[in-house]
Amino acid sequence: MIRKIFHGSDHIIEHPSYGAGKPYNDYGRGFYCTDSLDMAKEWGVSKGRSGFANCYTINCEGLTILDLNDPQYCILHWLAILLENREFEASSALAHQAKEYILATFHVPYGKADCMIGYRADDSYFSFAQDFINGTISYRQLNNAMHLGKLGQQFVLKSGRAFERLAFEGYETASHREWYNRKMDRDRDARREYFDVERNKLLPGDIFVTQILSEEMKADDPRLR
């Protein structure tokens, strides 16, 4: 299967390098892409600096692709990977205990995956995850928060085999005057919806991290689906 993907950057990348990139990105070291051209343009710009959406095709035939949207996974599997790779300050005893439990119980063996698909933890979405770890929002609210602002998914190349399948197809420019504003609007929309709707809306049966810890909930618990 040939898949078209895009990578937002401040420069043109014809030959992405395997092993490059920051080790503390969401899913560790890798080449982070998206199926959305618009999203790549947003990711490629910053305040006062235009960028590029680099376009590629990848032949996925025979590659091991770990998709965190698969029904076997829940949002805590995504969170466990995030906790492994991102700098995540556990500022309270509850947050520290929750972090250790999620890492131990919801670990995903993704080391042998050629590619990964899942949420991208932009600043707002990272703060939603922190709120859950600190017991401020429920599991349901965390799930809902990840869909605010139409965050989209990222497609991450992890292995040398995946990089060998990648073909550069060109690029499109992204003006910071247009795409930085779009990026900021998306982030503001997500934060506004979160604080106006989700953060203060509790429902009967909401599960908080304290309950997950006290009942030692596991990945197969139907309440986490």
From first to last of its 225 residues, the chain has per-residue pLDDT tens of 899 999 999 999 999 999 887 778 889 999 999 999 999 999 999 999 999 999 999 999 999 999 999 999 999 999 999 999 988 777 799 999 999 999 999 999 999 999 999 988 777 778 888 899 999 899 998 888 777 655 668 999 999 999 999 999 999 999 999 999 998 888 787 777 777 766 667 888 999 999 999 999 999 999 998
Backbone angles phi, psi at 98, to 5 degrees: -65, -45
Q: Three-state DSSP class for 161?
A: helix
Q: Which residues contact 24 (CB under 8 A, 6 or more apart)?
A: 85, 86, 87
User: What's the burial of 147, exposed, middle or buried (CB within 10 Å: 0-12/13-18/19+)?
Assistant: exposed
Picking from 22, 21, 20, 11, the residue whose alpha carbon sits closest to that of residue 49 is: 11
In Å, what is the CA distance from 203 to each residue of 140, 174, 198, 200?
Answer: 9, 42, 10, 10
Q: Hey, CA dihedral for 203, 223, 110, 103, is it positive or negative?
A: positive
Going across the sheet that includes 65-67, the strands are 31-33, 153-157, 115-119, 65-67
Helix (H) or strand (E) holding 4: strand 2-9
pLDDT of residue 149: 52
